[in-house]
Amino acid sequence: MRMGIFVLLLASVVAAFGETKPPRIRFKIEPEYTKKALKAKLQGLVALSLVVNTEGNTRDIKVTRSLGMGLDEKAVEAVKKWVFFPATKDGVPFNCRANVDVSFKTSKDPPPVRVQVVPPEK
């Protein structure tokens, strides 16, 4: 059985005026299953909240929906290593809040990644 990790990225970006671009993934590492979760055939979603900073690195990663059996930690560990093209407004990078859903499933399909622009909280 081949493992596939599916990732869904929802970014918070606001555009008051001018051109605003959401962060885009430049480099990512897929999280691994833990032996315990694999043995239990656990599948599901780990939701993370994070900030993509002006250098494109992730910080302030928090689990907002847990899956357990060590998969939360594996999702955080992998996303910490991700590198983004940062969000920009009129060509100037800015810190951006993002929600990342990491879905653990057994599949041969490639992991889809989607960036959706939504207004941040004020």
Residue type at 16 in one-letter notation: A
Residue 115 pLDDT exceeds 50 = no
Token pair in block for residue 52: 């993509």
Question: What pLDDT was estimated at residue 121?
Answer: 56
Q: Which residues contact 98 (CB under 8 A, 6 or more apart)?
A: 9, 10, 11, 12, 23, 49, 50, 51, 52
- pTM for the model stands at 0.78
Give residue limits of the domains in the chain.
4-118
Residues 46 and 75: beta-carbon distance below 8 Å: yes
What would be the CATH architecture of the domain defined by 4-118? 2-Layer Sandwich (3.30)
Q: Residue 114: pLDDT band by 50, 70, 90 thresholds?
A: very low
Q: What is the pLDDT of residues 1-45, one digit of tens each?
A: 445 555 555 555 454 456 889 899 999 988 999 999 999 989 988
Residue 81 pLDDT exceeds 80 = yes
